[in-house]
Amino acid sequence: MGVRRPAIKGTWEMKVRDFGTFDDPLLLCGGPYSNLQALQALAEIADGNPCVCTGDVVAYGAAPSETIALMRTLGWPVVAGNCERQIAEAAPDCGCGFGIEGTCDRLAQSWYPYALSGCDDEARAWMADLPDIGTFQQGSRRYAVIHGGATTINRYLWPSSAAEDLQSEIEAIEAHIGKIDGVVAGHSGIAFQRRINGRHWINAGAVGLPPHDGRPETRYAILDNGEVVFHRLHYDHSAAKTEMERVGLTQGYHIALSTGVWPSEDILPPELTR
């Protein structure tokens, strides 16, 4: 598959997809990260209902092909993460935006080739088809779904990011799809919500890795009538860790599944380090 466009930086024609209308309370999630056990647990909670996903279906974990297969079976609305964009094009790195030679970058040199090798042509074609921006309606409110940012797919935005940074992304989204009431984003792996000039910025967090808070539970969210509530996802993290050990992914993320502490704080702003 040829390079369709710059995968990470630069301007490109955004692929936008209407995910539809969800008037019931709606599950939101991000970052399954090849963690099959976590996605299975969330699927049980969903019980046949949709869950909007902000991408990075595949990353650090032991089961890339199985996680993609489950996601496709579930049929949940998904936008492309940087991992999907990179793997779709068989790019040489994850495109997470880690600093070169940092710990995260070094760790990615282990898990990314494993994730890439776990994705066959059909899985990569599915990834290539994912939109950059999803939209959905809930009641009178219109939401956009993105991965990191609309200006840059791998932009890290944190609970502490300047309001101007979030506002600039909202403006970029609205330049593509018109007025919105809220944004559902991911990539940074930390669940949070902010109100920015009347718009609701929601980061649904990640289901595949805990949010560096010293506990093994990961995160998902439920959106209802303009309000979002974050939940802890209890799942069989021991089994997920064992699988990572079995396939040789023992560079640190496997330990994070049980300790809840990331193997590197390279990407975190100082206020979020432990």
Per-residue HEC secondary structure of 49-96 comes to CCEEECCCCCCCCCCHHHHHHHHHHHCCCECCCHHHHHHHCCCCCCCC
Tell me the backbone φ, ψ of residue 167, rounded to 5 degrees: -60, -40
**Which residues, 179 to 238, sit near Fe ion by CB under 5 A?**
187
Q: For residues 182 and 194, what is the distance between their CA atoms, to the nearest angstrom?
A: 10
Ramachandran sector of residue 261 (left: φ over 0; alpha: ψ -120 to 50; beta: rest): beta
Smallest gap from residue 82 Cβ to Fe ion (A): 4
Which of the ranges 75-83, 158-166, 203-211, 233-241 carries the binding residues for Fe ion, by CB under 5 A?
Answer: 75-83
- Order of strands, edge to edge, in the sheet holding 192-196? 16-21, 133-138, 141-145, 182-185, 199-203, 192-196
- Closest-CA residue to 234 (of 44, 58, 64, 76): 44
Nearer residue to Fe ion within complex by CB, 56 or 169 = 56
The answer to whether residue 56 forms part of the interface with Fe ion (CB under 5 A) is yes
Which of the ranges 64-72, 82-90, 114-122, 251-259 carries the binding residues for Fe ion, by CB under 5 A?
Answer: 82-90
Smallest gap from residue 47 Cβ to Fe ion (A): 27
- Closest-CA residue to 205 (of 188, 222, 217): 188
Which of the ranges 41-49, 53-61, 63-71, 116-124 carries the binding residues for Fe ion, by CB under 5 A?
Answer: 53-61
Nearer residue to Fe ion within complex by CB, 77 or 148 = 148
Q: Letter for the amino acid at 82?
A: N
Smallest gap from residue 141 Cβ to Fe ion (A): 25
The answer to whether residue 105 forms part of the interface with Fe ion (CB under 5 A) is no
Smallest gap from residue 220 Cβ to Fe ion (A): 16
Nearer residue to Fe ion within complex by CB, 36 or 146 = 146
Residue showing tokens 């630069």: 10
Nearer residue to Fe ion within complex by CB, 79 or 257 = 79
Smallest gap from residue 219 Cβ to Fe ion (A): 15
Nearer residue to Fe ion within complex by CB, 41 or 206 = 206
Q: Which two tokens stand for residue 29?
A: 């999630």
Cα separation values, 234 from 41, 112, 187, 262, Å? 8, 26, 21, 18
Which one of 67, 82, 135, 138 is in contact with Fe ion (CB under 5 A)? 82
Nearer residue to Fe ion within complex by CB, 67 or 138 = 67
Q: For residues 239 and 257, what is the distance between their CA atoms, to the nearest angstrom?
A: 10
Total residues at interface with Fe ion (CB under 5 A): 4
Which one of 81, 118, 189, 260 is in contact with Fe ion (CB under 5 A)? 81
Note the residues at the interface with Fe ion (CB under 5 A): 56, 81-82, 187
